[in-house]
Amino acid sequence: MQIIRSIAQLRAWRKTAGRLAFVPTMGNLHAGHLALVEAARQHADKVVVSIFVNRLQFGQGEDFDAYPRTFEADCAKLEAAGVDVLFFPDERELYPRIKQDFNVEPPHIQNELCGAFRPGHFRGVATVVSKLFNIVQADVACFGKKDFQQLHVIRAMVDDLNMPIEIVPVDTGRAEDGLALSSRNGYLSAEERAEAPRLYRHLSAIRDALLAGDNRYAVLEKAAADDLAAHGWRVDYIEVRQADTLEVAHAGEPRLVVLAAARLGRTRLIDNIEVTR
């Protein structure tokens, strides 16, 4: 695996690469990321993974400084997964003027769900992803469904701005007890880790109720949020939304997604389940 740190070098390599798939990451890689790499390999001749912890998408008081940087271990995993190039720019390479003057501004959905609790987050994601797309110039990019709102924002950006790239969604990887794989799971204490699958159990219970024809979204959301709170969680939101638009769901809606974000101690976990009925 070649490690490339400069934009110029990556662009030169890209000209030789044929059909190219791209997996953007912030590092601290786990099996969920490797599933993205596997999907990428199935869509192209060559695979590029980027590792870049993007300051722009972290709010004040969030975990930008503490975000785990595990370069050596990440390289070993990517090498074993057959990745062709790791793009590993430093901050000055991606943000040479330190401040980014032009940003990609997502529509109102950026202020809802996770965006209501992380102002500016999706602007930071859309901006860095569009920069990376322009740099890597891949044919395909793979994104995990665990970050369902992020996937929605990226797809809308690609559609609305006519970006010449295909977005491939990849199912959420889960531990045996259902917990969605996430780099932030490493922040959980042993006790919190044992408690963490409760979030997925509630999403599953809401899915089952929806499949059984229940349309009382607010009642289902509140029951789950109350139980989580009773077990020490601080719930940011649990909401049933339309799967394709992320707009508020109306009774009888056939394609839904149940999304949640909640904090256990200092760790903020997110998860979701799609429901088609």
- Window 107 to 146, contacts with ligand PAF (CB under 6 A): 125, 128-129
Are the CB atoms for 29 and 186 separated by under 8 Å? no
Which listed range, 21-29, 74-82, 257-265, 267-275, lies at the site for ligand PAF (CB under 6 A)? 21-29
**β-bridge mates for residue 255, sequence order:** 276
Residue 197 amino acid letter: P
User: Is 250 designated active site?
Assistant: no
Q: Which is nearer to ligand PAF, 24 or 106 (CB)?
A: 24
Q: Which is nearer to ligand PAF, 24 or 89 (CB)?
A: 24
Q: How far is the CB of 156 from ligand PAF (least distance, A)?
A: 14
Could you identify the residue written with the tokens 């794989």?
181
Q: Which is nearer to ligand PAF, 25 or 272 (CB)?
A: 25
For 29, 63, 107, 218, 269, the CA distances from 26, given in Å and listed in that order, are: 8, 12, 24, 35, 16
For 90, 155, 169, 220, the CA distances from 151, given in Å and listed in that order, are: 25, 6, 7, 25
Q: What is the rounded distance in angstroms from the CA atom of residue 106 to the CA atom of residue 115?
A: 11
Is 25 one of the binding residues for ligand PAF (CB under 6 A)?
yes
Contact string (CB under 6 A) for ligand PAF, positions 140-169, x = contact: -------x--x-------------------
Is 253 one of the binding residues for ligand PAF (CB under 6 A)?
no
The one catalytic residue among 33, 43, 152, 202? 33
DSSP state of 185: G
Q: Which of 10, 20, 21, 26 binds ligand PAF (CB under 6 A)?
A: 26
Residue 268 phi/psi, 5-degree rounding, is: -100, 120
Q: Which is nearer to ligand PAF, 57 or 267 (CB)?
A: 57
Q: What is the rounded distance in angstroms from the CA atom of residue 35 to the CA atom of residue 81?
A: 10
Known catalytic residues?
33
Binding site for ligand PAF (CB under 6 A): 24-26, 54, 57, 125, 128-129, 147, 150
